[in-house]
Structure 1
Amino acid sequence: MANLRQTPLTCSGHTRPVVHLAFSDVTESGYYLISACKDGKPMLRQGDTGDWIGTFEGHKGAVWGVALNPEATRAATGAADFNAKVWDAIKGEEIHSFQHNHIVKSVNFSSDSNHLCTGSNEKLVRIYDLNKPESTPQVFSGHSGGIKHVTFFKDNTALVSCADDKTLRIWDRASGQETMRLDFPAIPSSMEVSRDGNVITTTHSNVVTFWDSKELTKIREFTVPTQVNSASLHPDCSIFVCGGEDLKMYKFDYSTGAEIESFKGHFGPVHCVRFSPDGELYASGSEDGTLRLWQTTIGKTYGLWRCIEQTPVMQENSAVINNKQEVPAS
């Protein structure tokens, strides 16, 4: 097995760059994957195989941010049409649409699915009560640049956001005030909160940094061989993966920073990377308009890899899932 090369599953269907993706938790029917694309048509897939389930139709501009609630019953999207939308992920129907005054770059659900946070180019973070969608959202102001990413954490009592102003900020929901802040030498390109909530992963330039979420102190930091656009920490904190401008997917040891492996599969820069909730695979989205699923342990019998003969040579087109996007999610 040591000499095996990756055989990624290629998920086609998008017509423009894939800029963000998100997994649900593991549900009774497995887990799910949603992708954001500049074609304005976010797609829902079965997470372990990449099989297309449906496309959410309704945005009139590029979709920049996506999220699934833990149970995969709701999806959220943020787009260049200045709207954040919440969808029934089972029926594919739009449930709510929240108008903003600029491009919505990031959306995320609270862990109980009752609230949605959004980050936009208005430099504001908002929280919407999904049980009272007509009510005025809670607004957090302080960033001096467009918001790139925002998410709930600390049992939904706080938010963490990063922005074009080269800062990451922690917000207390009760007071609405900023409580902690990090300054970066360059614009942070990605941000991820670990599944246990203890580690915040950020990327900027060619640097991946891991932060203690309680004190916002640096745990460790590694320089990687390319300008990195996204990184993701394995659920057991043993390894992390990242990708960026050189088209490669990298896997590193979290403790030492030693490179474990790197594979080229995409035909454009990698924009987003995330581990599945069970840690068995990681997904990447690229400028080339595709998502690819990669095995954490190469050669393991899992998902569609049950059907693929593993060989020592990577086969570019060994597992292509052809998806059509004209049918709404249903």
Structure 2
Amino acid sequence: MRPILLQGHERSLTQIKYNREGDLLFSVSKDHVVNAWFSHNGERLGTYEGHIGAVWTVDVNSTTTLLVSGSADNTAKLWDVSNGKCLKSWEFNTAVRRVQFSEDDKMILLVTEPRMGFPATLQIFNVENGATETVSSEPLTVIHPEGPKITVAAWGALNKYIVAGRENGSVALIDPKTGDCISTNKVHEATITDLQMSADRTYFITSSKDKSAKIIESEFLEVLKTYTTDTPLNSAAIMPKVQEFVVVGGGQEAMDVTRTSSRQGKFECRFWHKILEEEVGRVRGHFGPINTIAIHPDGRSFASGGEDGYVRVHHFDDDFFSFKFQI
């Protein structure tokens, strides 16, 4: 399984995202640029330039016509995927740490962080058809969530609720219309670093600095599966269709890396059996912590982005698809 190395960023990766068909891969990093790649061969399709700070987050809608990015320059930008034109720029008081299109592509969820006396917010904007004149400048809803800082968030099934992960390791269900916290559950002992929904949004996976990843049911926030590792985790993803696996990644903190060999730092993607909670394999390669993982929608490849500034795309060999885990 030889990886394709994507060299399009000068600084560490913050998030990568496949589009719905999986033919394109979008990557963002701390170097102000959003890149688009062809996932099958790693050729760069283009860049989206306009941010003047580290870009923390990116998402693309289901028709691959609109792209949204959130940055440390206190803005979120809406882009036309095909020509790279910036359709809209929203300004906030603090950095935007997470963005996501709703299931029907009509709304965008943005998470801003608390800073300089400004509280954290969840903001929802209307982008119903993407035409510049109809994209709302003012949010439909501004939610000021109480309690510890929200680090990650995602839309639940049918946009009925927002699933949020907090700095203290708890997850919460939030009503997007009223802003009320429907329920909460403390599932981790440290900051939740990533939250990715399953294809049908009935469950999701979280990763945490407490060295574990967990699969959690969406409606009642019940922990279904736990994958415990020996290193802080920065990202976790669920493999669709092909195999019952989850992929997690992380490694020793970036600030400690200079004193550590890549093997000691455990900078590798780890494959766990989703049901049996057993580790089945590892993929090495990054020189530094893995910050973000994404799996192709058909489950035939996966990509990882690291502190080393590279995106590595792995297309699985044929024997991967016939692999049977022996109990």
Q: Same fold (TM over 0.5)?
A: yes
The residue type paired with residue 8 of structure 1 is: P
Q: Percent identity?
A: 26
1:217 maps to what in 2? 222
1:89 maps to what in 2? 81
Q: Is the 8 A contact 2:13 2:27 kept in 1?
A: yes
1:125 maps to what in 2? 122
Alignment of 1:1-330 (within 5 A): 6-26=1-21, 31-122=23-114, 123-130=120-127, 131-183=134-186, 184-204=188-208, 205-236=210-241, 238-245=244-251, 246-297=266-317
Q: Is the 8 A contact 1:120 1:146 kept in 2?
A: no
* Alignment partners' CA distance in 2, 1:72 and 1:180: 33
* Alignment partners' CA distance in 2, 1:261 and 1:185: 26
Q: Is the 8 A contact 1:80 1:104 kept in 2?
A: yes
Q: Is the 8 A contact 1:143 1:163 kept in 2?
A: no
Please give the TM-score of this superposition, normalised by the length of structure 2.
Answer: 0.85
2:254 maps to what in 1? none
Q: Is the 8 A contact 2:168 2:189 kept in 1?
A: no
* Alignment partners' CA distance in 2, 1:158 and 1:170: 6
Shift of 1:223: 0.6
Q: 1:56-89: CA deviations, max 9, x gaps?
A: 1000000000101111111110000000111001
Q: 1:16-57: CA deviations, max 9, x gaps?
A: 00011111101xxx5321111000101111233322111110
Bigger relative contact order, structure 1 or 2 (CA pairs below 8 A, ≥6 apart): 1
Q: 1:298 to 1:248 in 2, by over 3 A?
A: farther
The residue type paired with residue 13 of structure 1 is: G
The residue type paired with residue 216 of structure 1 is: L
SS for the counterpart of 1:151 is strand
Shift of 1:145: 4.2
Shift of 1:191: 0.7
* Alignment partners' CA distance in 1, 2:146 and 2:62: 28
The residue type paired with residue 191 of structure 1 is: L
The residue type paired with residue 150 of structure 2 is: I
* Alignment partners' CA distance in 1, 2:303 and 2:318: 14
SS for the counterpart of 2:69 is strand
SS for the counterpart of 1:56 is strand
Q: 1:236-277: CA deviations, max 9, x gaps?
A: 370011111121111111111222211211111100111111
Shift of 1:213: 0.8
Q: 1:278-328: CA deviations, max 9, x gaps?
A: 111111000000101123446679xxxxxxxxxxxxxxxxxxxxxxxxxxx
Shift of 1:92: 0.4
Please give the TM-score of this superposition, normalised by the length of structure 1.
Answer: 0.84
SS for the counterpart of 2:124 is strand
Q: Is the 8 A contact 2:206 2:215 kept in 1?
A: yes
The residue type paired with residue 120 of structure 1 is: T
Q: What RMSD, in angstroms, separates the aligned Cα atoms of the two structures?
A: 1.8
Shift of 1:227: 1.6
* Alignment partners' CA distance in 1, 2:306 and 2:16: 10
Q: 1:143 to 1:62 in 2, by over 3 A?
A: farther
Q: Is the 8 A contact 1:31 1:72 kept in 2?
A: no
SS for the counterpart of 2:105 is coil
Q: 1:107-131: CA deviations, max 9, x gaps?
A: 1111222211100113211100124
* Alignment partners' CA distance in 2, 1:144 and 1:262: 37
* Alignment partners' CA distance in 2, 1:181 and 1:297: 41
The residue type paired with residue 253 of structure 1 is: H
Q: 1:217 to 1:50 in 2, by over 3 A?
A: same
* Alignment partners' CA distance in 2, 1:279 and 1:210: 18
Q: Is the 8 A contact 2:231 2:250 kept in 1?
A: yes
